[in-house]
Amino acid sequence: MMQKTILLVEDDADLLEILRLTFEMEGFRCVMATDGEMALDKARRHAPDIVILDLMIPKLDGIEVCRRLRADGAFHGLPILMLTAKSEESDVVLGLGIGADDYVVKPARPRELVARVRNLLRRGNTKDPVVTDKIISVGDMVVDPIRFEVRIGEDDPVQLTPTEFKLLQTLTGRPGRVFRRAELLDATVGAGVIVTERNIDTHVKSVRKKLGDFGRYIETVRGVGYRFTDKANV
């Protein structure tokens, strides 16, 4: 298996060294940055497979780094895991809402962190029995798993994070089926990783917003989960 590269963005020198040693022992190649501007430069020069990003870093904070990566087509599909001391629910919602695929509060246990990284990297390499590679069309919206993009009419592709794309792909792959939040967590994050169902709600909210009028096709089934319907609510 080809060695995967992790971009570690952290301004605490001791923690950065712990992260480096942890992931190098697991067979990863580590590239390190201690501020936001350096993080963007290292991302462009090293094309990492995944980014572990602290929020409170100098020059450009983690939120702005995440925004800029998500706005750059060169990093479409790049998994981003936020590792931060900010634990308020509003911080988690903001981090996931602007494009992070996972959010871990410090102090993080090394084994759990490695498991989360492996699950994020595995998403593009595994087949979920619910998800297919077929192109799905609903009106003017096209979900193309081969190109890993969503288009609405003649507009530019909708900028979805890997987690958001997998979520939409799962829902549109079986229109009308109700997916429990736990199922969507397994499909988008991976089984065995500890995250809250609130994460799925936040990702659904973000996908709806990005899809504009087509966001109404994702229905909430109260007390259960979500489904994609071929007829939007009005």
Tell me which range, 75-89, 121-135, 181-195, is most confidently predicted by mean pLDDT. 75-89
Q: What is the pTM of this model?
A: 0.61
Read off the pLDDT band of 54 (50, 70, 90). Answer: very high
Q: What is the pLDDT of residue 195?
A: 53
Could you give all domains of the chain from N- to C-terminal order, each with its CATH number? 5-125 (3.40.50.2300), 136-228 (1.10.10.10)
pLDDT tens per residue, range 100-137: 888 888 888 888 899 999 988 876 454 444 445 678 88
Query: Quick one: three-class SS letters along the chain?
Result: CCCCEEEEECCCHHHHHHHHHHHHHCCCEEEEECCHHHHHHHHHHHCCCEEEECCCCCCCCHHHHHHHHHHCHHHCCCCEEEEECCCCHHHHHHHHHCCCCEEEECCCCHHHHHHHHHHHHHHHHCCCCCCCCCCEEECCEEEECCCCEEEECCCCCECCCHHHHHHHHHHHHCCCCCEEHHHHHHHHCCCCCCCCHHHHHHHHHHHHHHHHHHHHHEEEECCCEEEECCCCCC
Above 90 in pLDDT, residue 80?
A: yes
Mean pLDDT of 208-230: 89
Residue 26 pLDDT: 94
pLDDT band at 57 (very low <50, low <70, confident <90, very high): very high
pLDDT of residue 7: 97
At 127 the pLDDT is 42
Write down the mean pLDDT value for the chain: 84
